[in-house]
Structure 1
Amino acid sequence: MEIRQLKTFISIVKFGNFSQAAQFLGYTQSTATTHIQLLEKELNTVLFERFGHQLMLTSDGERLYDYAERITKLADEAKNALDDLSIPRGPIVIGMPESLCVYRLNEILQEYAIVYPEVELKVKLGISSDFRTLLRKNMMDMAFFLESNIDEPDLVSKWLWPEPVILAASPSHPLSKLTAVAVKDLEGQTLIFPDSGSSYRTLLEESMEKMAVQPGNVLEICQIEVIKQFVISNVGLTILPYAAVQGEVTAGTLIALPWQGPDFKINAYLAYHKEKWLSPTIHAFYKLIQERLLK
């Protein structure tokens, strides 16, 4: 019985399927399957059973899960106890929105990887709801959020900076001629959004719903660079952090519309679970954030 097999088993339980667990661990699905098959062969039992599309633990699987959690936790504690704790090393999993990763934190991530070569840095891009789930399952060490506020008793959050958000358009878009753009002016307009779950998208949609304003069409595109190209081509409007479009605004290929609607008060936060052990690896990352971005 190997620790990596137990970690694969735990991840499959938490994700509810083999493919997501394998992707998170950096394995192929066949490798994850092999880990479970070896465990089942060694223990002479079946750990999972399927009901339709639902993957469920058998009674033996449920008993093993408690042992697996304790064994992997003890293994990590033993490794930490024997390591030189003054040197950051080992894995660190950090979640962040794409806009922060690409336009705010890219150079810091590179610096961290260079300064601490023994750290296995893993960055997960996604949305706040996914990060909250992974932090609570102890499958992510820290996460960056773009939110109006974070007030959850099981998360420790550190305010970092205000993150300006703008409504961006092509200079040739009809709304670019207005001296003020209000919620009502979005009636019938094509809106291009990032993935559902971003706080600034939610704020805009809520303000439109409150005033019964209906867009003409809504496009959802998962990559910011693609969204910007659509807007530059005058396909529609978008709402994004200013940091993500600053280069295009400076170059004149995009403009920030003179928004007069509800204020988008978005802040950047760094959060972790209150029961998380803050290893030297995590402390080193946060110290770098403080030195580079919180002057």
Structure 2
Amino acid sequence: MRIVFAGTPEFASQALAAILAAGHEVPLVLTQPDRPSGRGLKLTPSAVKQTALTAGIPVCQPRSLRLDGKYPDEARAAQQALQAAAPDLMVVAAYGLILPEWVLTLPTHGCFNIHASLLPRWRGAAPIQRAIEAGDAQTGVTIMQMDQGLDTGDMLLMHVTPITDEQNASALHDVLAVIGAQAILEAIDALQQGTLRAQPQPEEGVTYAAKLDKSESPLDFSQPAVVLARRIRAFNPVPGSTMVLPGLKDPVKVWNATALPPTATGLQPGQVLQANAQGIDIVTTDGILHLLELQKAGGKRQPVSVFVQGWQDR
């Protein structure tokens, strides 16, 4: 099939690579504009752009696809490129731009989206992180026929995977990227064979995965330890979780922690109960947060056995 691909991060790049490896023709790739990255803030292409360029595929990077929006010239150029590509199908994965109606209806078979949740749960921007944060036992990938709503289109195919107590957002992302690449190939095969069936999303069970924000980073020890441990896993690596330790001016990042049952009564949330090479124990409103990996401002990530030495020598 002739497939235009739209996506930006590594999650999407794996799907593009799978589509190319399966022998489908990709005449055009859409991705976000290059962004400043690293200490030098050098403009860096997205993971999808890098995959496309390696494969010799033309890349289009409009800041908007709205013909009546802020960047109409870029949108019109993208429209001309899409029309010239004459796609049978458009596959979208974590692209980052809203697709107006003219895009949704341009390909012969419309647009398929690779969404990293079990729709209708966790529609929106951060489904992987919100599933971990909420303590979901499982998640997965839904291949969806896109419409003009926010992840409201008909479901075409779904794959389920468990969420383990050890998985952070980075690890779960990697699992779902592989599942997403497999799932989109299955959906394309079924479309070609005429066996793909659309199913409307149920009205019950809808939740929204709000975009991540740095304001969510500080840990609130008035919450239970199990909730904080999930948040730390959910926000690893972005936006990260932070707290203030006694004797340190700047907040530290907490990269890994587990929840332990309460050990005493009458303790104040946020109190450091003990600190040694095995962990730093912080009192919460319900249970103990056992810190295992931390990072001082301007420093490197360290296991608690190393971190605690420098902290106690302050």
Normalising by structure 1, what TM-score?
Answer: 0.30
Higher RCO (Cα < 8 Å, 6 or more apart): 1
Compare the two structures and name the one with the higher helix fraction. 1
TM-score, structure 2 normalization? 0.29
